[in-house]
Amino acid sequence: MGTYILKRIIGSILILLLIMVVTFMLMNAIPGSPFLTEKSTPEQIAMAEAKYGLDKPLYVQLWNYIKNYLHGDLGTSLKMQEGTPVKNIIFHQGKFALSIKLGLLALLVAVCLGIPLGCLAAFYRGSWLDGLLRVVTTIGVAIPTFVLAALLLVVFSVKLKWMPTLSGSLTDAKSYILPVISLSSYYTCYIAKLMRTSMLDAINQDYIRTARAKGVKTKALVLKHALRNSLIPVVTYLGPVTAGIITGSFVVESTFSVPGLGKYFVQCVMSRDYPVIMATTVVLSALVIFAMLVVDIAYKIVDPRITLTTKED
């Protein structure tokens, strides 16, 4: 177990490094200079580039990034908030915390709602409840996040005026509701579908029949025997969910005007603020990679039969 985790951590760091290199190359492949505006003269651009070390050869720039990152220095913003350390923008202006809060809440809702709903559907298979849940989840996975977010906004904020239109910095509990619903609905539905299939699979296994024959109560049967065995596909799916929730946050944050990391990333890609792009990519990637790692370890805890060292498809 220990060696496996160590191996995975080293692998994750390598992937992160690779993402840094790729991001760096992509950033520099955008034609023109970040300081190019209608008014700027070539001299001004050259001066600005020299100030931030953009005139150095690419490999030197890349090496500087890696060196600084290892020292915990994420550089300073070139454009949007010139001169401000990127670390401050991401961590101290509450952007990171906001996005994380929103994302974790959505993840929590998706898991806490999706799993019981899937279990219910499997348990009452063929009943009206199963039918209803199937319709809802099938439609739920077909509605794009931004459409749902916009519709919720119109219905509950504009027409009914129950919720604030601008969620802002999510200061009160009410402003969380709509963003979290729109961020989590797809994943709630997907997890419910997944859970239903794997629960049905588990219920039809021999050991369940044996347990039932031995007189185990239905509640204990579901919670102890069936649930644990049917959780594996859901746990595997949580890695992609984390990545997806970050993606979804781009849309949700811009629809509800939440000043989070997702919205900020899109803005700084457009304005080519190199250090901020790099830092956001690395932070978000690290988050996703960390989630994948946690999922793989959680895997082992849920199902001890899985041996971690050999990964076979």
Residue holding tokens 């039932």? 212
Cα gap 276→281, rounded to integer Å: 8
- Evaluated on CA atoms 119, 123, 124, 130, the torsion sign reads positive
* Chain centroid, CA 112 distance in Å: 17
CB of 250 to other proteins, least distance (A): 7
Q: Measure the CA angle with vertex 241, ends 308 and 155; round to 5°.
A: 165
Q: By CB under 8 A, tell whether 64 contacts other proteins.
A: no
The region, left, alpha or beta by phi > 0 then psi within -120 to 50, assigned to residue 273 is beta
CB of 301 to other proteins, least distance (A): 21
Residue holding tokens 């969380």? 176
Q: Which is nearer to other proteins, 112 or 166 (CB)?
A: 166
Q: Which is nearer to other proteins, 93 or 197 (CB)?
A: 197
Contact between 261 and 90 under an 8 Å Cβ cutoff? The reply is: yes
Which residues share a beta bridge with 76? 85
**57-65, 76-84, 139-147, 220-228 -> range binding other proteins (CB under 8 A):** 139-147
x/- letters, 290..309, toward other proteins (CB under 8 A): --x-----------------
Q: By CB under 8 A, tell whether 18 contacts other proteins.
A: yes
State the maximum Cα–Cα separation within the chain, in Å, rounded to a whole number. Answer: 85
Among the listed residues 62, 97, 113, 141, the single contact to other proteins using CB under 8 A: 141
Q: Which of residues 19-38 bind other proteins (CB under 8 A)?
A: 19, 22-23, 26-27, 29-32
CB of 217 to other proteins, least distance (A): 26
CB of 7 to other proteins, least distance (A): 13
Contact between 310 and 7 under an 8 Å Cβ cutoff? The reply is: no
Q: Which of residues 220-279 bind other proteins (CB under 8 A)?
A: 243, 246-247, 250-251, 254-255, 265-266, 269-270, 272, 277
Residues near 1 by beta carbon (within 8 Å), at least 6 away in sequence:
300, 308
Among the listed residues 17, 50, 104, 142, the single contact to other proteins using CB under 8 A: 142
Cα gap 45→35, rounded to integer Å: 6
> Which residues contact other proteins (rule: CB under 8 A)?
12, 15, 18-19, 22-23, 26-27, 29-32, 138-139, 141-147, 150-151, 153-154, 158, 197, 200-201, 243, 246-247, 250-251, 254-255, 265-266, 269-270, 272, 277, 280-281, 284-285, 288-289, 292, 313
